Structure 1
C-alpha cells in the first residue's frame, strides 16, 4: 500500500485473526463425493445442451457431469481440461450464473440450475490432487514461440502449443506467473494459493519456460521477438489504469483498486493491510465489487460502490452485486464523481446524479471517505504494438493481428468479454492457428 494512504482513519488490524480467517475463507466450500453425485444426478444430459453453447470454451458439460455420476471424476476432469486447461480456476471465478448455469434447462424450468461450476471444481480438484498431468507433448517440431503475458490467455496458449511439440518462452512483467488469476481476483474466490498451484500443474506438460520481470516496452520489443522466434502471442492483459478526472483526484487516499487487490492477494498477513473507516469504490465491474467486499472483510465500517450508470448496466453480475450487499456494501447507481475534497488527504467525495444518458441532473451529494478506490477500467500498455481497434489490439479470426506472425488474445485484444474463461478460449484458439500456420496449414 502506498505510504501516503496511512493517515487518520486508515490503519491495519481492524479485525482479529479469527474474523479475518472467517471472512477470507473459501467462498464456496468444495462438494463432497456424495454431494457431487447428488448434484450430478440433477443433470438432464441434454442432447443439444444449451450450457455447452453458453460456455466460452465449449466444454462438453453433460459428458463431464455423466462421468462424475458414473464415478469417474478423473475422466470428467480430462473432458473439461481438453477444452479449458484452466478449468480449476474458472470453476472458482467464472460468472456461471450468467453463462452455463443461466442457460441450464433446470434453471429455465425450476429456477435452480445444475451446479455446473461446483461440479467442474470437484472434478478438476480431484485430478490435480493426484499430482498428474493428463496430457503429453507431441514430438518436437523445432519451432519456438514467444508468449508475452503469463495470465490465462498466455498460459492457455503456451500449454496448447507445448502439447503440439513446440517450445515456448513466456515473458511476464510480474514476479510471479498467473496474471489476473494471481494478482487480480478476490482472495476469498481462490484460497490456498490455488492460482500458483494451478500454474505449477499446467507447466508439467513440459516445453514451457517462464521469464519473469520482462515487459513489452521496457525489456522486450515486438521486432526483437519476431526475429528470435517463429511466432509471437501477445496476452499481456491491460497494465494501465484509467485516471479519475474529477478535481482533487490526486489527493492522498485516492488509490487504484487493482493495486489494492494485488497487494491483498500477495499478503501473508491480512492484519497488516491498512484499510479506511469510510471507503468509497468508484466503478461497476468485478474489480469494484472485489475491492469493496474485501475492504469490508478487512474491517471498514462503511463501504460504498458508486457507479455512473444504472445497476442493470453494471458489468458485475447481479449475483456479485447481491454478494456485495450481503457483506454490507452499499451500491449507489446513476452518480458520477465531480470533486474530491480534503486538505491534502481525501475527506469527502462529491457526486452528481445522472440520468440514463449520463447527463448530469444538477443534484449532488457527498460521501465521507478516508479511502477511495478507482475501479473505472484499465488501459493497454506497450510500445510498438500491432494496429489497434479502439484501445485494444485489433484481431481477426483466431487472434491474428496486423503484424505477420503475431497473434493476440485475452484482455489486451479487441473482441470478447474480459473474463478469465474467455481469455483461456482465445489463447487456446490462437495456439491452434499458430500451430496450423507453422506446420504449413495456413499463412500467419
Structure 2
C-alpha cells in the first residue's frame, strides 16, 4: 500500500508474531480534548496535578472484563497523582462508529483504544496517534507487542494484552466418552457432530450467533490457509491487486460454513444465541465444542468449577482444508491523542500502568490475557488450548485476517455472513459486498 510501507510492516509483523507464539506455547514463565496545545509544565512522578481530567473511550469488552481491575488502577492513579480519568465505555457493536464520529467531529478523547496491526489504520494514526517511541516502557515490550504497536516506524500505542488466536475448543472428556478423535476435515467434523447428536446432544457445536462480529471471526481464521494457497495474498489485498471475490478458497469456506448451519449443527435458533449463554452451554456439558480464543476455558472454569474446563483442548477450524492456526497481532492497544492538551498526563498514566506491580495486578485481574503478556517481564500462563492447537495444526500458523488486512470490519462482515445463513446472500455475494465496502474506503483514502 502506498505511503505506509505495508509490505515491510507485514513481513516483520508475521515473523515476530510467529516467533512469540512458538515461544509462548512452551513457556510457563470528563472533558474532551481537541486542542492543538500540549501541557507546558512537566510533572514529576510524585507531584499531584490538580484540575486535569483525561477522557478515555473504550469498547465494552476491552475494559473491566471479569473484574474491575481497570477501574481499580484508574482509582489508584488518581489517588497518586490527582489526575482524574473519565472512562467512557461504548457497546462493542457501536464502538468503531462512535470513535470515528468523535475523531471526525473534533471531540477527540485524550485516550482511546484500537486494535493493533492493520486495523489501526482506519483511525488515521498519522493524524491522531501520538508517537510513544521514546517512552521507557517500550524497551520492555514483548516482540509481538512492539511489532503490533509500530505504525510507520513509530510506537503508536500502549498495549497490555495477549497474542491469541481462535480455534475449536472441545471438551476432552465428552470426546473420550463417545470415542471421538480430533476432526481434521469438514467430513470428520460432521461425523463428530452426528455422533454427539445421536447421543442426545442438541447443540454439539455452540454458535454465538446473536453477535454479528462472531461470524466474521470464523472467517478471519481462514486467512492463513488462503494465504498459503495464494502467496502474497494479504499484501495483494492491501494493495488492491486482488479482491476477496478472486479467492476461490474463500468461497469454499463460506459454502461449507453455510452447510453446517443448514444441517442444524449449531442447534436450533443459533442466530439468537448470546455470548453469556455460551458459558452455561459449555460449562454444563450441553455443548461439546465452541469456536473461541485460547483463554476462554479459564473463564468457564471460574464459573463452573466441576466442568474440568482447564483440561479442554483446541484444534483449527477444519473447513475448506484448513489445518492452520491463525493468531492476532497482539490484540488491543491504548492510543494517546497527539494533539491533546493533556498529553503529558496521558503519558504519565501509561507510565503508571507500566510499573511492574501494576502490570501484575492488571494481568491477575484478566485471566483471559495471561497466556502471553505484552511485557517481557510479566510471566505468562499458557492455557491447555494454547499448548495443543499448534500440535493439531500441521499446516503451521499465520496472522488472521482481522489483524492482517486493511479495512476489515468484524461487525459488517459478520452481518453479511448472517445474511448468507438466512439465504439472502450467496458466498460470492458476501465476498463482493466485502470488496465493495473496502473499495469505498480505499477510494476515500481512509488508511
Higher helix share: 2
TM-score normalized with structure 2 length: 0.27
RCO comparison, higher one (Cα < 8 Å, 6+): 2
